[in-house]
Structure 1
Amino acid sequence: MQDALLIISCIFLLAGTIKGLVGIGLPTAAISLTTQLDVVSEPQLAVALVIFPMMISNAWQVYRGGNIVKTARQYWPFLVIMLIMIYVFAHVSASIPAESFLIILGCVIVLFALTSLFVKPVYLSDKYDRPVQIAAGGISGIMGGLTGIWSPPMVIYFLSRRVEKDDFVRATGFLIFFGSIPLFFGYWQSEIMTEAVAISSLLLTVPVIAGFTIGEFIRRKMDGGRFQKVLLIIFLLMGLNLIRKAIGF
């Protein structure tokens, strides 16, 4: 048990470092690595463990970014439908067999990597912003409730709107922070997030924040863009491996 806790702490330290370095990838790295290495009994437990580190690190990101009211006014349709879908599908997640969960998780990670690496959507004008926000928020919520990762539709949407870097960091932090709240309650009511798991998740915030600080320091010293591309390729391979593992190939 102590060995497993040490491995999980190291994974979350690495995941926090990745987020501090490139601004994305905390839940993707933490969930994919814990399931790849079989250090948790069920893949849904890996999602539960990342909830508090995800919530707290993104709260810090939102606080540092400022302009919370402006962000809320701009993206409230995305937020509302996403929150509803995350809460609903977090309950569905508890009933999904482990093999099916791994396939869904693997597909989401592959989609995350491919969209971040290669996709540059066509420009989305203000005329279509509201319906696209609702659609993207709904898809994000379904993915988030099922797997704890809801960034692919968010990334595609923000790229299509040509959002500036600072606004991108602020908006993604805002949506991930608030999205983690219904995910917590959905997992709590589904009895995946027990008291012991919640305490473990809170404690894992420590290595994540430590890693986030390390990642920010490294980012000032190196080319984060090149590292991000390598990281996304690794995520792509990990997602494909989860699918392979689930189907027993």
Structure 2
Amino acid sequence: MVDFASLLVVTSTFLLAGSVKGVIGLGLPTVSLALLTVAMDLPTAMALLLIPSFVTNLWQSMVGGNARAILVRLWPFLAMATITVWLGAAALTRVNLSLLTALLGSLLIIYAVVNLAGIKIFVPSRHEYWAGPLIGSANGVLTGMTGSFVVPGVMFLQAIGLPRNMLIQAMGMLFTVSTVALAAALQQANFLTVQYGAMSAAAVLPALAGMVLGQRIRERLSEKMFRSVFFISLLLLGAYIMVNALQKL
């Protein structure tokens, strides 16, 4: 039986996460995972983000008209980012969850600092053939361990110089295949239940409502300012998650 407090946490989390995605075009899995981890254990948070993440990112992965070009160029990266998720997920039953939660916090901090500092990484096209599978593998393992899809995968997609529309679509494709792989890995590890599935499905509506709200906010708010607030908040939240988790070790 789902208690009202848990339902309120999940609904408000995905409303906020959807709003962030509506404003800046990304952040739903990252924000929802970070906030849910404050209120519940890591595997539960990972399970709850699956359906909203899949629905919103599947749409993003199909819009833009660049799917064929992205697949031709990035299939080794995407394939390894998918295949290796189960390797990382194996840690959920073998490693202290507080340690994995601390790892999630550190990834959020890295992601926030890189964006706030405006750090630009460039990967020449001649190195994509080996860097793509290597970074994809690292991203898959970290996705399985923490539920976070962004480090270092999004950094790689930014580093290879994709045009903005292609970059957004490629991120949607990465998040979609990562979500599917994570769902399979969590199911294999017996972390998915009917209750979590129902709550995750119920979170789709607030996530979509948040995206609509965020798109309206974007029309009245400086995206640059919002991104700064977003990454500062993510930095603080990541630090809180990491410190809180390390205290439980």
Q: Tell me if both proteins adopt one fold, taking TM over 0.5 as the criterion.
A: yes
Paired residue type of 1:44: P
Corresponding residue number in structure 2 for 1:224 = 223
How many angstroms apart in 2 are the aligned matches of 1:209 and 1:81? 29
Aligned to 2:51: 52
Check conservation: 1:120, 1:159, Cα contact below 8 A: no
Residue in 1 aligned with 2:6? 4
Instruction: Work out which of the residue numbers 16, 37, 40 in structure 2 matches 1:14.
Output: 16
Q: Quick check: 2:19–2:211 contact (8 Å CA) kept in 1?
A: yes
Q: What residue ranges of structure 2 are gaps of 5+ in the alignment?
A: none
Tell me the residue number matched to 1:151. Answer: 150
Question: Does the residue aligned with 2:220 lie in a helix, a strand or coil?
Answer: coil
CA positional deviation for 1:122 = 4.2
C-alpha distance in 2 between matches for 1:167 and 1:67: 6
Helix, strand or coil for the counterpart of 2:151?
helix
Paired with 1:196 and 1:163, the residues of 2 have a C-alpha distance of 40
- Change in 2 beyond 3 A, CA 1:7/1:122: closer
Distance 1:62 1:155 in 2: 14
Query: What is the RMSD computed on CA atoms of the aligned residues?
Result: 1.6
Q: Offset of 1:163 from its aligned partner?
A: 1.9
1:191 match: secondary structure: coil
Q: Are the aligned partners of 2:7 and 2:199 in contact in 1 as well (CA < 8 Å)?
A: no
What SS class does the counterpart of residue 152 from structure 1 fall into? coil
Q: Following the alignment from structure 2 to structure 1, what is the Cα–Cα distance between the partners of residues 206 and 121?
A: 39
Gap change, CA 1:122 and 1:180, over 3 Å in 2: closer
Query: Would you say the 8 A contact 1:116–1:155 is kept in 2?
Result: no
Q: How does 1:93-132 map to 2 (within 5 A)?
A: 93-132=92-131
Taking the TM superposition and a 5 Å limit, the aligned residue runs for 1:1-249 are 1-36=3-38, 38=39, 40=40, 42-248=41-247
Please tell me the residue identity of whatever aligns with 1:33.
L
- Whichever residue aligns with residue 14 of structure 1, its letter is L
CA distance in 1, matches of 2:22, 2:118: 23
Q: C-alpha distance in 1, partners of 2:161/2:68?
A: 20
Q: Deviation of residue 65 (structure 1)?
A: 2.3
TM-score (norm 2): 0.93
Task: Measure, in 1, the Cα distance between the counterparts of 2:241 and 2:223.
Answer: 26
Name the CA distance, whole Å, in 2 between partners of 1:100 and 1:122: 28
Q: Which ranges of structure 1 fall in alignment gaps of 5 or more residues?
A: none
Q: Take 2:63 and 2:215, find their aligned partners in 1: how far apart are those partners? A: 13
Question: Matched residues in 1 for 2:44 and 2:95: separation?
Answer: 13
Identity score, percent:
26
Cα deviation code 1:14-56 (max 9, x no counterpart) = 00111111112112211111222x2x3x221001100111111
**How far apart in 2 are the matches of 1:147 and 1:217?**
32
Q: Structure 2 CA distance, aligned partners of 1:192 and 1:48?
A: 7
Q: Which amino acid aligns with 1:220?
A: E
Normalised by the length of structure 1, the TM-score is: 0.93
Letter in 2 for 1:135: L
